[in-house]
Structure 1
Amino acid sequence: MKNLVNSVLLLVVVVLNLSDVMANPPAAYEGRRLYVSYCQLCHGVDGKGEGPLAKVMEISPADLTTTVRSRSERILTKIITGEGRQTITGRARHNLLNEAMPEWKGVFDESEVKALIAYLRFLSRAKHDLMGDPEVGMQLYQKYCRVCHGEEGEGDGIMTRLMGIEPMDFTNPNETNSLDNRELIRSIMQGQGEFMPAWRGILSRDDVEALVSYIRLLSH
């Protein structure tokens, strides 16, 4: 018990002295920000092509939850940037998805295209919805979780060495996808095992939903 108390006290000290500098955010997180700003109006929140602008323009954007699965990164890059015209059903088009798809070359740089593709992969593979705001979730993760779960969610935070623990690796989709949102929320709110603390009373329900949404993006 004494060792546990000392470990907890050390955890508090580490949290209080952590730098405010955030780790490099996961690619899917950055991609989501681009998607919300540039793509969501047509492709919709869930990527199924039912955004409000699509209805106004009377166009039918691709359902990204299915179309993206069979496309390589090279082809998706061409689709997004408009480079390398593709021929479909005898017609030359600048993309494989829809004639109304804008060409984003000159708007997105290479790293942004890769980040956007990472988020599109998330949309096409995700088994669980994003309930909260991942941007809020990232701030909470950096403040409360990274000391154990690591800067990038790999379960290699500084406290793992000090306490001899092995937190969940959030970058492994086999681990995170095995738990639905309710299970992750319950684990955060109530704690798990000997070393995972209960955050009820510290984090609100909205906070935890945002945190879970950020965790989902870590694995993509």
Structure 2
Amino acid sequence: MPTRTDGAAFFSKNCNSCHGVDGTGGGPAAENLSVAPTDLTMLSAKNGGTFPQARALSYIYGDPENSHLSRVMPQFGGEMAEALVPVEIEGILTPTPRELAGLLFYLESIQQ
């Protein structure tokens, strides 16, 4: 099972440039974006104090409500779907790409 440390490594490789090292949205590429990156440390605070696992996963993996073509953040998917692990999301064991499971654990750990 992936860990928070695995997620931190994925975040460092794929997310730091826009979301910043601490996840607050102040990465070096952020100033060039038309839409400011989300402060990832405030996801729980904006969701009544509960980390929105399902919503975060759907947005990162490829939000069905917003095409990846209409947003700045890249859609993660493709080959990731080949390495799935069961993650309990909102009480349901959900097959989740290994890298994104670790990322979810990491994002939950940085909530304020």
**TM-score normalized with structure 1 length:** 0.37
Cα distance in 1 between the residues matched to 2:108 and 2:79: 21
Looking at secondary structure, tell me which structure has more strand per residue.
Answer: 2
Pick closer, same or farther for the CA change 1:107–1:40 going to 2, 3 Å. Answer: farther
Percent identity (aligned):
28
How far apart are 1:33 and its partner, in Å? 0.4
Structure 1 residue 124: deviation in Å? 1.1
Q: How many residues align?
A: 92
1:84 corresponds to 2:64: yes
**Residue deviations 1:60-114, cap 9 Å, x none?**
00001102552532211110111421xxxxxxx248xx93121111254411111
Contact 2:33 2:72 in 1 (8 A): no
Distance verdict in 2 for CA 1:73–1:44, change over 3 Å: same
Q: Deviation of residue 48 (structure 1)?
A: 0.7
Q: Does structure 1 residue 28 correspond to structure 2 residue 8?
A: no
Cα distance in 1, alignment partners of residues 14 and 106 from structure 2: 13
1:109-188 to 2 correspondence within 5 Å? 109=81, 110-125=97-112
**Structure 1: stretches of 5+ with no match in the other structure:** 1-23, 86-92, 126-220
1:121 shift after superposition? 0.8
- Does the C-alpha gap of structure 1 residues 75 and 114 become closer, same or farther in structure 2, counting only changes over 3 Å? same
Aligned residue for 2:10, secondary structure, equals helix
Aligned equivalents of 1:107, 1:32: Cα separation in 2: 20
> 1:111/1:36 Cα in 2 relative to 1: closer, same or farther (>3 Å)?
same
Q: Which runs of 5+ in 2 are unaligned?
A: 82-96
TM-score, normalised relative to structure 2: 0.69
The 1:39/1:118 distance shift into structure 2, 3 A limit, reads: same
Given the alignment of the two structures, is residue 49 of structure 1 paired with residue 30 of structure 2, yes or no? no
Question: Higher helix fraction: Structure 1 or Structure 2?
Answer: 1
1:79–1:94 contact (8 Å) kept in structure 2: no
Quick one: higher RCO (CA 8 Å, sep 6+), 1 or 2?
2
**Which 4+ runs in 1 deviate beyond 2 A?**
56-59, 67-72
Question: 1:54 Cα shift?
Answer: 1.0
Q: Alignment RMSD, CA only?
A: 2.4
Per the alignment, residue 40 of structure 1 pairs with: 16
Match of 2:71 in 1: 99
